[in-house]
Structure 1
């Protein structure tokens, strides 16, 4: 059981002071009974809570899939640059969302925003082996030497990388699958072969792929099936 103001405020649409105002004007009800005090307790998953007669759909956690564009940093706040949270719809602004993992400012593609710390930890934990798939464009042709080097494990200044899969898609484009996540890893790996990454786009995290119909800069909630695919790596 939780306080009604905490339950409603946790959904991101209203602050606790907003809820007090709603309660004062008898606009909140629990199981059909008007709430007279914002300290009233209810079971958020069993009680029917309504605001102005409309049911509150309680979500303990939120999982958003974002098609990240260039120009946004993977952080909850930044004093000089826009963050990925600026792309979140107003309905989620009150929730304490954060990016589960990061993409560089100039990298595009799939990103998960959530308020579920356990899921985020499992996505990022090296022990879970959640692979990430990227499409890469280089300034020079992709070579067999790069492909073999990635498979063997590229030696960086912070250690040898785990074996990575490199599929040649075109003269200067490739698909790379990583089993780990290091700082600027793909850029540094290609740098060992004298190549510069011109563009980098994340296609997938684990079994979850970025849908082709999700426009760049937009996000939506994961479906139950998509969330299940993402959680397959938690055990």
Structure 2
């Protein structure tokens, strides 16, 4: 649904999660929907959702076209909208958010946790994922093996992966070096299993991976794995998203 043109009432209410078209038809028949002070008789009535006062059961609706959600993705859940074999991130959403049909912007591996943006704003997703944009992604990782300054230099120069692809320069920060090292890593691409493959090229194994940031968006550490919230106005602005309401 785009622009500020008239929209069918049943489509508007379905978009906001008030039910299916059939359920909304029953609501209208039961005189539970009011537009600009008048009881609605026709579910196909055309309205201006940004301007008209629409009430359901006496409560005004707040129309919006897009939704932007920050999730702390848990391990064991797929970054997808559907999968025949496993649980996906949209399964973690409440019905009022799932009604917007959001999708994950990019992917995190099934066993990786951390920041995941879900939205139905395709233009924003494209801007964040476009290869030429080189949007930075920051990770925390635990790595089996001693991570050294030599590794740091190799990452800065670009790592040649197992398929021959050479990555863009990456910024490796060593938090702790030991049999199990702790690091932060900033990459500017999103190749399949990229962080794990970069360390594998250096003879090391990633045992835990968490995404902390994507561009200007930083994971809210108050979110437990599996929890999510809507983005704030400041976070939307930092991504260049404009929420019209």
Q: CA deviation at 1:12?
A: 2.1
- Confirm or deny that 1:173 pairs with 2:182: yes
State the distance in 1 between where 2:164 and 2:71 align: 30
Structure 2 gap segments, 5+ residues each:
1-5
2:81 to 70, 76, 79: 76
Q: Which residue in 2 is equivalent to 1:111?
A: 116
1:133 to 111, 124, 138: 138
Contact 2:168–2:189 (8 Å) recurs in 1:
yes
- Confirm or deny that 1:223 pairs with 2:223: no
Which residues of 2 match residues 1-235 of structure 1 at below 5 A?
Answer: 1-156=6-161, 157-171=163-177, 172-231=181-240
Across the aligned residues of Structure 1 and Structure 2, the Cα RMSD in angstroms comes to 1.1
Q: CA deviation at 1:13?
A: 3.1
State the distance in 1 between where 2:125 and 2:220 align: 20
Q: Report the secondary structure of 1:159's partner residue.
A: coil
Moved over 3 A (4+): none
State the distance in 2 between where 1:73 and 1:55 align: 36
Residues 171-217 of structure 1: CA deviation (Å, up to 9, x unaligned): 20110001111000010000011000000000001011001211211
Residues 109-133 of structure 1: CA deviation (Å, up to 9, x unaligned): 0001111111111111112221100
Contact 1:65–1:221 (8 Å) recurs in 2:
yes
Contact 2:139–2:186 (8 Å) recurs in 1:
yes
Residues 45-97 of structure 1: CA deviation (Å, up to 9, x unaligned): 11111101101111110001000010101111111110011111222222211
Alignment length, in residue pairs?
Answer: 232
Contact 2:66–2:100 (8 Å) recurs in 1:
no
Structure 1 gap segments, 5+ residues each:
none
Contact 1:154–1:161 (8 Å) recurs in 2:
yes
